[in-house]
Amino acid sequence: MDGEPLVRWHWLGTHVAYLRDLTLDHAVIALVPVLIALLIAVPLGLACARYPRLYQPLSAVFNVVYALPALAVFVVLIPYTGLATNATVMIPLTCYALAVLLPTTVDGLRSVPEAVRQAATAMGYGPWHRLAAVELPAAVPYLVAGLRVAAVSSISLAAVGALIGKGGLGYLFIDGFQRTFPTPILAGIVLVAVLALVTDLVLVLARRLLAPWAVREKGAAS
C-alpha cells in the first residue's frame, strides 16, 4: 500500500495482549519439542556410547530427517495428526532437535577419560552411580551447547507452522504479507529474535549453574 509507514506504533500499542499470546504460543510450540528431544537424546546417547555400532545408523537417520524441508514434513503429517494441531508442528521439530542433541550427548559422554571412569569404579561407584556422579555432569557443557543450537533453530522453524494454521508468531508474517502491512512482519521478526535471545541466555545461565568448572576452564584457557 502506497504511503504505508514502516511501523504503526498505534497498532503495536493496541495489540500488546495479542502479541503476548502469540509469543507464548510460539514458545510452547518451539521449546517443548526441544525438551522432549532432550529426554530422548540422553538414553539414546547412553546406548550409543555403550554400543558404538548404533551411533552411525541413528545419526544417519536423524541427519536425513534434519535435511527435509519443514513445510513438506508438516504437509505429510496432516492426514495423520490433523490440520492446525500442535502435533503436526511439534513432531518434526522434535526430530530436528534430536538430530542436533544426539551427537552432542554422545560427544559429552565420550569426553570422560577412561582413567576417570576406572577411578570412580575403584572408589566403589556402581554403573548407575558413576553415570549420575561422573558421566552425565561431564556431558552437561556438550548438552547445553546442543540445546542452544536446537532451541534457536526450533524457534525459527516454528514460524513455518503458520502456513498450516499453527505457527505462533508466524501468523504475523502471513497477516502482514496478505495485507501489505509491514508492522506485524517487523513485530514478528523482533519477537522471534528476542525469544531466541532470551532462551539462549537462559541456557548459558543454566550451564554456569550446572557446570561452573567448564566456565572456569574456558576462562583459564583464554
Helix (H), strand (E), coil (C) string for the chain: CCCCCCCCHHHHHHCHHHHHHHHHHHHHHHHHHHHHHHHHHHHHHHHHHHCHHHHHHHHHHHHHHHHCCHHHHHHHHHHHHCCCCHHHHHHHHHHHHHHHHHHHHHHHHHCCCHHHHHHHHHCCCCHHHHHHHHHHHHHHHHHHHHHHHHHHHHHHHHHHHHHHCCCCCHHHHHHHHHCCCHHHHHHHHHHHHHHHHHHHHHHHHHHHHHCHHHHHHHHHHC
Sequence letter at residue 9: W
Length of the chain: 222
Which pLDDT tens digits describe the chain residue by residue (222 residues)?
Answer: 556 678 888 999 999 999 999 999 999 999 999 999 999 999 999 899 888 899 999 989 988 988 999 889 998 999 999 888 889 999 999 999 999 999 999 988 888 777 777 777 778 777 777 777 777 888 888 999 999 999 999 999 999 999 888 889 999 999 999 988 999 999 999 999 999 999 999 999 998 888 776 655 555 454
Domains belonging to the chain, first-starting first, are 9-221 (1.10.3720.10)
Cβ atoms within 10 Å of 9's Cβ, excluding its own: 9
Q: What is the pLDDT at residue 216?
A: 53
Between CA 136 and CA 166 the distance in angstroms is 35
Q: What is the pLDDT of residue 13?
A: 92
Q: How far apart are the first and last CA of the chain?
A: 53
Cα 189 from Cα 147, distance rounded (Å): 22
Give pLDDT, residue 18.
95
Based on its alpha-carbon atoms, the radius of gyration of the chain, rounded to whole angstroms, reads 21
Question: How far, in Å, are 115, 217, 219 from residue 168 at the CA level?
Answer: 49, 39, 39
